[in-house]
């Protein structure tokens, strides 16, 4: 079973800044089935990125995903006020689906 | 627009069975493209995948919960259901029903219900 570790636990930035969120895997994710989700308080999570770097429908292009092997990154190029939320990475492999513990992005 | 809606008791007694149903609207559950699953989130905590089912009835489960969990599909009602037996306070969480990509958006959770809070308490 792949374990995902997200860092940092909390990231404090200002609107307009660039955010870089990391997701490390305990073993190489050769399948490419790595996704990112955004969850705002009181809401259900929303799919942002799938297949490491493909944006889901309706997701603004300021969100981008990258990485390979065991190291993956979600980048938000210029933070908008609505981007402050919790972000989760997630992997699929061997009929198991696993989430990271989340990174909270809050306003500085 | 496809929607998922969870229903079931908000309070379950310790040692009893938690039972939830998810009603799917806007899309047939009997599709080869998706699995139908459950994710839970304890208060203030992260996301935990519980398991899923294909419309044929085949299932996949989180190994940490496998001994207590079952998921069934009713294609005639376009619903799927979750049972968690022998619950404790640690099972208190918001439970989400989800659509999981099988051939389309493979490996992802692309649609989520609003979630329902289930509290385990006597």
Q: How confident is the model at residue A30 (pLDDT cuts 50, 70, 90)?
A: confident
Task: With beta carbons less than 8 A apart as the criterion, state whether A75 and A67 touch.
Answer: no
Chain A interface includes B8 (CB < 8 A): no
Task: With beta carbons less than 8 A apart as the criterion, state whether B116 and B5 touch.
Answer: no
CA–CA dist B49, B38 (Å, integer): 6
Residue to mutate among B60, B109, B116, B117, with most A CBs inside 10 A, is B109
pLDDT in tens, B49-103: 999 999 999 999 999 999 999 999 999 999 999 999 999 999 999 999 999 999 9
Residue in B62, B96, B108 closest to A47 by CB:
B108
Sign of the torsion angle spanned by Cα atoms B12, A41, A92, B112: positive
Under DSSP, is residue A83 helix (H, G, I), strand (E, B) or coil? Answer: helix
pLDDT in tens, A40-89: 999 999 999 999 999 999 999 999 999 999 999 999 999 999 999 999 99
Q: Is the peptide bond before A8 cis (omega within 30 degrees of 0)?
A: yes
Residue in A31, A47, A100 closest to B109 by CB:
A47
Number of CB atoms found within 10 A of residue A51's CB: 16
Please check the confidence at residue A31 and state whether its pLDDT lies above 90.
no
CA–CA dist B38, A32 (Å, integer): 23
Which chain A residues have a beta carbon less than 8 Å from that of B113? Answer: 44
pLDDT in tens, B5-53: 999 999 999 999 999 999 999 999 999 999 999 999 999 999 999 999 9
CA–CA dist B112, B102 (Å, integer): 15
């Amino acid at each position: 079973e792949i374990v995902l570790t997200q860092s940092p636990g909390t990231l404090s930035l200002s609107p307009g800044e660039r955010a870089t969120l990391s997701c490390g895997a305990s073993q190489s994710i050769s399948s490419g089935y790595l996704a990112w989700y955004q969850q705002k308080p009181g809401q259900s999570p929303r799919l942002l990125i799938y297949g490491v770097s493909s944006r889901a429908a309706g997701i603004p292009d300021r969100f981008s995903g990258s990485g390979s092997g065991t190291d993956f990154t979600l980048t938000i190029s210029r933070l908008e006020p609505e981007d402050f939320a919790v972000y989760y990475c997630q992997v699929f492999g061997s009929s198991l689906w696993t989430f990271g513990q989340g990174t909270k992005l809050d306003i500085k | 627009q496809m929607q998922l809606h969870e229903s079931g008791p908000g309070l379950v007694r310790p040692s009893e069975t938690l039972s939830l149903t998810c009603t799917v609207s806007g899309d047939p559950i009997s599709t080869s493209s998706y699995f139908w699953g459950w994710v839970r989130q304890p208060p203030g905590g992260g996301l935990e995948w519980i398991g899923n089912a294909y419309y044929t009835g085949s299932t996949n489960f989180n190994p940490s919960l496998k001994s207590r969990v079952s998921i069934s599909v009713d294609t005639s009602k376009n619903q799927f259901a979750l049972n968690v037996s022998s619950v404790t306070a640690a099972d208190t969480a918001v439970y989400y029903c989800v659509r999981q990509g099988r051939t389309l958006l493979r490996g992802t959770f692309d649609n989520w219900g609003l979630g329902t809070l289930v509290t385990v308490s006597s």
